[in-house]
Structure 1
């Protein structure tokens, strides 16, 4: 399938791909480019293997230099820009940034309502108002997951508050309370074909 979404900002690139192809398609493409795939041997779930291949395929498609720079230890390009991966079902997302990065894609899944007490703060639903509760929950989840990935550690979803959401400009503000220090982050937030996408843009 072609790209679902692509955006180039001053210091970042963001892309989504609907990975309906078989895993072999992505694996063979990566091997043809000599992209290191040894890390897949540590993954046992077929869906996770598929997502790994698809996300690295997408990375190489929008940033070919990753083939030489990619480190297997974590989503990090040695001597290159920072990278963040996300996936939800058969959709994979990649953000490449010259600053810290954090991206999340999330289908509007009714299961989010079941676990909402684990990640919602008192005012989150008041801030993110949409025509559907599940859509609002998916947007809130994506915002918090993107900020969480921006830091990588020392933060829980309960310590991230969504302070502003504007569906017209597709922007949001979130405040992270990490180790007693509060930091505000600006994000781009889109809702595309039943799924939310959020990424930190500083």
Structure 2
């Protein structure tokens, strides 16, 4: 089985990566799904999305869980029945989960030129202006910022949060592999400790809210 990597974040937090090399049918035969998950799977139009969904279940099984231990709240946030915090992401060739005693978020993104075209939707204009023509790592840095804002939203998915207007990323360098982020939304101000790395041509970000 193509279990790819385990990253030990701290004593109570670990991240698991699955490289999707199997066919849809091979993955489907290896997992058990509750009826709601099966209906969700069958409603997906993209086979890539279906395989990502199934690979997440493979990671659950790798950790002694199953699809029957996983449920989603009214906001679409995943939870495990035993109270362990979980966050999930998948993108084309990889699926990832993170398990922790902290309220964590994770995001996985394929690095593509496309991110430059949508940067105006999520990145601060100052960052784009400063780095667009001066950094060979512009796409990598934009992808980290996109991943951070996705992961923050997974932790604090209140209605009305804007990636560009409410989530701010502290300046960083790619070789640092960490930074912080701030969510400033209505009366809520939350700071997040952020880590990131690159796996092949993907960017992986994970974070959690720091104590006030």
Normalised TM-score (structure 2): 0.82
1: CA distance between counterparts of 2:110 and 2:82? 33
Number of aligned residues: 198
Change in Cα spacing, 1:2 to 1:49, as seen in structure 2 (3 Å) is closer
- In 2, are the aligned partners of 1:104 and 1:197 still within 8 Å (CA)? yes
Partner Cα distance (1:130, 1:146) in 2: 24
Quote how far apart the aligned CAs of 1:29 are: 1.3
Residue 60 of structure 1 corresponds to: 61
CA distance in 2: counterparts of 1:185 and 1:171, whole angstroms: 11
Q: Spell out the pairing of 1:16-165 with structure 2 (5 A cutoff).
A: 16-31=17-32, 35-36=33-34, 38-42=36-40, 43-45=43-45, 46-61=47-62, 63-66=63-66, 69-71=69-71, 75-125=78-128, 131-154=136-159, 155-158=161-164, 159-165=166-172
The separation in 1 between residues aligned to 2:140 and 2:154, in whole angstroms, is 21
State the partner residue of 2:2.
2
| SS, match of residue 170 in structure 2 | strand
Q: Is the 8 A contact 1:108 1:195 kept in 2?
A: yes
Q: RMSD of the alignment, in Å?
A: 2.4
Query: Residue 87 of structure 1 contacts residue 105 of structure 1 at CA under 8 Å; is this kept in 2?
Result: yes
Which is further off, 106-115 or 123-132?
123-132
Give, in whole Å, the separation in 2 of the partners of 1:115 and 1:69.
36
Structure 1 unmatched runs, 5+: none
Inter-partner Cα distance in structure 2 for 1:150 and 1:143: 11
Shift of 1:165: 2.4
Query: Is the 1:81–1:97 contact (alpha carbons within 8 Å) kept by the matching residues of 2?
Result: yes
CA distance in 1, matches of 2:173, 2:3: 25
Partner of 1:188: 195
Task: State the 1:72 CA deviation.
Answer: 6.0
- 1:127-178, Cα deviation, whole Å (9 max, x unpaired): 9996322111111111111111111223221111111425344211011112
Distance 1:118 1:30, change over 3 A: same
Runs of 4+ in 1 over 6 A off after TM superposition: none
Post-superposition offset of 1:116:
0.8
Q: Cα distance 1:176–1:93, how it changes in 2: closer, same or farther (>3 A)?
A: same
Residue 198 of structure 2: SS of its match in structure 1? strand
